[in-house]
Structure 1
Amino acid sequence: MAFPDTDALALYGHAITLDLVTTISESIFCSAYGICFAIALYSIFRRGFTSRVRLIMLFVVIYLYAASVAQWALDMRNAFVRIHSLLMVPDVAIADRAYQPTAKYSALQVALFMFNMVIGDAVVIWRTWAIYQRVWSIVLQCICLLATFVFALADVICTSNGNIKTQSADASKICPLAEGTAWTLSIVINITCTKLIGWKAWRHRKMMQQLFPGKTGKMSGEKTLWILVESGFVYSLLWTIVFFCDARYHWDYASQVFTSLARQMAGMYPTLIIVIVNLQRTVWEEPLTDIVGTGAVSRALQWAPNSNGSAMTDTFRTERGEIHPDAGIGTTRETPVMQ
């Protein structure tokens, strides 16, 4: 009986270990996502379905989670199939055993991940628009989102048809760059949106310090903005790490852990944004009683209509905001006092 040589055994062991690392790490991340998904459903049902925006929220949350669970299930299936193939299919070359039984699902896995990433970026852009209520704030991000979708679609097509690179000169140029370009554009979208939300949070804090110099701590609306900034920073950092790990250290154990995290984070992060928005009160929902005297006075200051009869709130004629119950965060426009 002929036994495989040392190199072949090392290849076996390395491939099996990578499968185990991927399976265990992604199972942990998927479980954490399940908790986040349950909280998201609770936050949506708690507020009710009084508008189409909340119905869209529910659809997005369910789709993202279903796609992430499908990715986890495919990765689990592929791991077990590869282990079986490596150990129990001797009539296939060792170099091909880890890939042959799972190749037909590669395009589906790429599609699930890429489109989760695109939808997640769309949620981030929606958050930025809801805070600013200005088209200029999302023009660049929308262009990047469209380009991300195009390159994501190209990556799926290239993965599903392995021979397309040799059949078309254009495909041979686009396919090697499609995935990396989509990742880069996604990182640009998240960094840009995080900076814009951070700028709004800083402006709001400076305004509150001028209006209420004796007030310590952050108001709930401001806390929501800073939570969005911090989570956006962490997500952008993780996305950048995963991008470089996947590009340079594809078979490293740490790379596999980060890649498993990315598969779940693509859906988890936008779900977290929806949770934060639904569970936190808006800037204009928080009472001003603790800031400026009695409740009657604070309500008058908070909800008094403008002289022009609009639905906008005029607080000390310094900051004007619109009430957007479905957006989750009140938007503000500062007058020259802050400029």
Structure 2
Amino acid sequence: MADGRTSFALGQAMMYHNFGLTVQTFFFGGYSVLILLATRLFLQRGLQKMSTRVLCALSLFMYCISTAYWAYTVADVVAATQNYIDPANTQWATFFTQVSVPFTLWNAIVLINFVISDGIVIWRAWVICRRSHRVYLSIPSTFLLLTIASTSGLIALRTIDIVKPGWLSHAILTRAIDIMQLSNMTTSLLSNLSATGLIGIEAWRHRNTIKRAFKRKTTKVNQVLLLLLESGTIYCSTGVIGIISQLIRLPHGTLNDLLVPVNIQLAGAYAPALLLLISSRTSADDTEFLGTIPTSEMVNDTRPNGFASNGRLRERALVVSALRFAVNPDSSDPEQAYATTSSFSPMDVNSPQRPSQEERQEKSIREKRSDLTYVE
């Protein structure tokens, strides 16, 4: 009777292992498609900008971690299945021990994906927020530092446990690991919530500014900001579900044991998925995921009148935010044509002085005739 119960428990554990691997493989396959498309997009746009190179490198690094974790999960399930089929086989039992013992270390290493993803969210919020509001980013940054500390602590303790087996058998160390695991998920969630909240505030301010200036509620920039807000909210919801799932007991472990592999894949896929979503709504010239873009080529002409050698008005090179803003075509006031209608602060790298009245009138007329957009 006891052997029957033991066999049933082992079979039930194998069912959970295989189900978890199946779900993880499904999300890993989707993640692989996203990283392939995102890498193709990176190469098409070029890797000249430092921010683009950093984001590309981080995306590939997170994918490598997720791939290694998925491969290790496959090996763990295979070893557990072999041990379940023939527990008396010493060779299979040895393989199962070699795979299952370091698995706890891998569960700690993959938390790096959450740290990097949280950092990307804060980086994105830093780009979007106006400079006077960037001081509030210290809130999510503090939570990010706490997440880094708990992740580092877990990796260190799990490594010591492998080097010195039985070292974590003390109750106080086991309790410390439980606290670190819970605090890791909590601080990661709080970091994302605060950063997403700041993005929501900027999106609301921009919408009101555009509504007052242009008498319309929706612009391409507003759509991108709304997309960032919605995606951030969805990503935060996965963290909430992860914390709640720790409280739901199953016959074998908790619900969180099944969701953690999925959340790891989602954390890695978040950045490339968001990049592709934004790119589907805007062109490469309209937006960069991070950093700034030059609005026009600099003209090597130092004439003070603001005109190039061909007699046309010289374009000024601006370092601006990564989003484009349209000028009001119905405005006859050249001052309004140059009014900042967003929370992004341009910086003229050619001259700190504003263009003269004559230059503004000339540029306003030329823009209306050509029906072009001005990058603010």
| Structure with more helix by fraction | 1
CA 1:319–1:91: 2 relative to 1, 3 Å: closer
3-state DSSP class of the match of 2:141? helix
The superposition leaves residues 34-88 of structure 1 with CA deviations (integer Å, 9 ceiling, x where unpaired) of: 1211221122222212221111111011101111111111111111111111111
1 CA distance for matches of 2:140 and 2:343?
Answer: 26
* Pairing 1:292–2:292 present: no
Residue 107 of structure 2 is matched in structure 1 by: 110
Structure 2: state its 5+ residue gaps: 288-320, 348-376
Residue 153 of structure 2 is matched in structure 1 by: 154
* Pairing 1:207–2:205 present: no
Displacement of 1:133: 4.6
Structure 2 counterpart of 1:160, one-letter code: T
Displacement of 1:256: 4.7
CA 1:86–1:97: 2 relative to 1, 3 Å: farther
2 CA distance for matches of 1:51 and 1:209?
Answer: 33
2 CA distance for matches of 1:126 and 1:210?
Answer: 29
Residue 49 of structure 1 is matched in structure 2 by: 47
2 CA distance for matches of 1:181 and 1:68?
Answer: 22
- Number of residues of Structure 1 aligned to a counterpart in Structure 2: 301
User: TM-score, normalised to structure 1's length?
Assistant: 0.77
Percentage identity across paired residues of the two chains: 19
Residue 175 of structure 1 is matched in structure 2 by: 177
* Pairing 1:268–2:281 present: no
2 CA distance for matches of 1:284 and 1:271?
Answer: 17
**Structure number with larger C-alpha Rg:** 2
CA 1:177–1:285: 2 relative to 1, 3 Å: closer
* Pairing 1:137–2:174 present: no
Structure 2 counterpart of 1:123, one-letter code: I
User: TM-score, normalised to structure 2's length?
Assistant: 0.70
3-state DSSP class of the match of 1:321? coil
Q: Which has the larger displacement, 156-165 or 186-195?
A: 156-165
2 CA distance for matches of 1:22 and 1:7?
Answer: 23
Larger RCO of the pair (alpha carbons < 8 Å, separation 6+): 1
2 CA distance for matches of 1:102 and 1:4?
Answer: 27
CA 1:277–1:139: 2 relative to 1, 3 Å: farther
Residue 233 of structure 1 is matched in structure 2 by: 233
The superposition leaves residues 225-261 of structure 1 with CA deviations (integer Å, 9 ceiling, x where unpaired) of: 1111111111111111122213543636854542231
Structure 1: state its 5+ residue gaps: 305-313, 325-339
CA 1:160–1:202: 2 relative to 1, 3 Å: same
Residue 57 of structure 2 is matched in structure 1 by: 59
CA 1:16–1:113: 2 relative to 1, 3 Å: same
Counterpart contact for 2:130–2:343, Cα < 8 Å: no
Displacement of 1:119: 0.7
